[in-house]
Amino acid sequence: MAEEFTGITVWDGPELSKAVPKEMLSVAFTGDENDSDIDSSAVPEGMTGRDRETFTIRCAAAVLIGSGKARAARRRAYELYAAAGAVIARDPRLGGAVMRARLGTHTFKHMQTSSGTQALVIFGVDCDAFTRR
């Protein structure tokens, strides 16, 4: 676990937990049942028998602040987003899993809930890799 996420709930894909963390990062899951978790395309790369694959892993950084302070929730959600970018920048090969990863596009959304203000940054991690056919 990267030190930037010490004390933060990190989920890899959908979780069966009913927990409602105050701060969380989810990888390959945004919580939106109408959105895909990963989008990918592959094309043959020369005569090598390998495909060049590009894909986007959808992630979410979410913060829930009970006081209803939208500005504070938004700021903290973007801090988590920036931390994810810093982790990727330190290891853009994701431990050798890809040729290159980088932050892609993102969207932001505020929500008022019965538990307070939620700030949600949904972002992509764009990756380039080779796969075998």
The 10 Å Cβ neighbour count of residue 110 is 13
Whether the pLDDT of residue 119 is over 90: the answer is yes
What Cα–Cα distance (Å) separates residue 120 from each residue in 25, 30, 53, 83, 91? Answer: 10, 9, 28, 15, 25
Model-level pTM greater than 0.85? Answer: yes
The average pLDDT across 109-119 equals: 90
d(CA 117, CA 59): 20
Q: Which of these, 114, 61, 111, lies nearest to 84 by C-alpha position?
A: 61
Q: What is the pLDDT of residues 54-112, one digit of tens each?
A: 999 999 999 999 877 899 999 999 999 999 999 999 999 999 999 999 999 999 999 98
